[in-house]
Amino acid sequence: MLDVRILTIFPGVFDSFLAVGNPARAIDAGLLHVQAHDLRDYALDRHHSTDDYPYGGGTGMIMKPEPVVRGIRRLKGILDQPWIILMTPQGRVLDQAYAEELARMRALVLICGRYEGFDERIRAFVDCEISVGDYILSGGEVAAMIIVDVVSRLIPGVLGSDSYQCGESFYNGLLEYPQYTRPRSFEGMEVPTVLLEGHHEKIRRWRKKQALIRTLARRPEILQKMALDDEEQELLDEIGRETTSGEKP
């Protein structure tokens, strides 16, 4: 079982999130445990302060080191080899490969910031820093939810069928191929004939080719980082020839 603990000043925001979807399914199955801890419980003063003004001046408040570090030490004392993660836009951007690494951990501690950031000294007490994208959030809670949701899907037994992951975006490194359901014709748009013929090998190859086309058009940087197998390279060459000749891939 993966044990995830979240250090936050708003532990209540996780209640409804953990009650639905794959996180709830994983928790109900005993494959995942998630608990949010109130950082104010680790504050030192009678006001339970977790933030203060920055030295040197500036706007906004900074998360104090004492509550965060006390929370980390408390959780290290009760968890089995926890991986301590600081949620920050300065961290490594979360991707599917990194999510798979996290899903193999025994325990995760996600530290959620607020205000204008963390006291720099907190970084000395964490194992890594993670960002969920190059944009600004009000705090780390939403980012922590993303990690829990992504990782929960990767725990064996959580999804209805483990093979279902194989068709999802990024599982094989590519964006997902187009999907269709009934009706066969909708406002002049038809389901591709290959999907109606029942030839499994042709369907598999068509889907891989469409995934390559979509990735090439929308996220070409993904292909630049991938080690393509022989079939993928063959399909890319085929796509290139069709594009050059003006054919529809």
In the three-class reduction of DSSP (H, G, I as helix; E, B as strand; rest coil), residue 29 is classed as coil
Assign residue 218 the CATH number of its domain. 1.10.1270.20
Give yes or no for a cis peptide into 183 (omega within 30° of 0). yes
Which alpha helices (H) appear in 131-227, and where do they start and end? 140-153, 200-218, 220-225
Give the end of a domain, one of 121, 153, 185: 153
Question: Do 7 and 35 share a domain, yes or no?
Answer: yes
Range of the structural domain that residue 128 is part of = 2-153
Tell me how long the chain is.
249
> How does pLDDT run across 217-239, given as a tens digit for each residue?
999 999 998 999 999 999 999 99
Do 132 and 174 belong together in one domain? no
Gap between the terminal Cα atoms of the chain: 45
- pLDDT (0 to 100) of residue 58: 84
Give the contacts of 6 (CB within 8 A, at least 6 positions apart).
Answer: 14, 34, 35, 36, 37, 109, 110, 112, 141, 144
pLDDT on residue 162: 46
Strand 62-63, strand 51-52: pairing? antiparallel
**Both 29 and 142 in a single domain?**
yes
Mean pLDDT of successive 10-residue segments in the chain (249 residues)? 98 98 97 98 94 90 96 98 96 94 97 91 97 93 98 92 52 85 94 95 95 94 92 96 82
Q: Are residues 187 and 105 in the same domain?
A: no
According to the model, what pLDDT value does residue 144 have?
98
Residues 55 and 173 in one domain: no
Amino acid 165: pLDDT: 55
Do 173 and 142 have their domain in common?
A: no
**pLDDT score of 59:** 83
